[in-house]
Amino acid sequence: MPASPSSQPPATTTRKTELLAPAGNWECARAAVANGADAIYFGLPRFNARIRADNFSEKDLPELMDYLHRHGVRGLVTFNVLIFSGELETAREQLLRINEAGVDAIIVQDLGLAMMARALVPDLNLQASTQMTITSPEALAFVDRHLSLDRAVIARENSLKEIRLFHADEADAVPLETFVHGALCVAYSGQCLTSESLGQRSANRGECAQACRMTYDLVVDGEDVDLGDQRYLLSPQDLAGV
């Protein structure tokens, strides 16, 4: 006798996990493609949060994108720093070259740059960087209302409980991405001023000196406090959301 509808197991939705790999040079890009990456992300000189990495040049873009697309892999450019007003024309020119090269998406922090991209290259996939510090569904709704995001990488500082507040399963929801592993900034990512203050290296421009990873002594009212083996007073534990 067939089972009644009420006794059938609930339907499940199978989601394909996308493998997005970092690639700062040709060797990394080829390794990512060879090992099954669905997409890679990389920065260009000047406007990315890993400015000290090898990074691809603008001249590499046409060849790189042709190579990726021949292997069915997408290429995303990280444009994830704050832009000064005097740099907007340079950023505009880079956006045009990115679009002309067939880049699949840009990952952006600066709201002004994001609005420029929407107006200048409206068909280019626009993704909010974790550096944009989207920490709530309300913040996501506000940004999406003005930018029509294709994806949002929410703030890595969100807890699992806070992540669950985002209604990612709704039909019209912005696709979400989140970090669940790796180092965690003592402040909100990319918005710490300690590196700039102590070492003249801006965390908002990809040059963080990671002052929070150093050892410190605790002094209260001029007296040293014995903390035993606890020396990394500003360094938070790594993410563990897997």
* Each residue's pLDDT tens digit, 169-228: 676 789 999 888 888 888 888 778 888 888 788 777 777 878 888 899 999 999 999 988
- Domains belonging to the chain, first-starting first, are 18-178 (3.20.20.80), 194-240 (no CATH)
Q: Which residue has the tokens 């997408």?
A: 74
Q: Name the pTM for this structure.
A: 0.83
Of the pLDDT bands very low, low, confident and very high (cuts 50, 70, 90), residue 239 is confident
pLDDT at 179: 85
* Each residue's pLDDT tens digit, 11-58: 555 567 788 998 989 999 999 999 999 999 999 988 887 767 678 899
Residue 146 in contact with residue 179, Cβ under 8 Å?
Answer: no
pLDDT at 141: 94
Distance separating alpha carbons of residues 12 and 67, to the nearest angstrom: 36
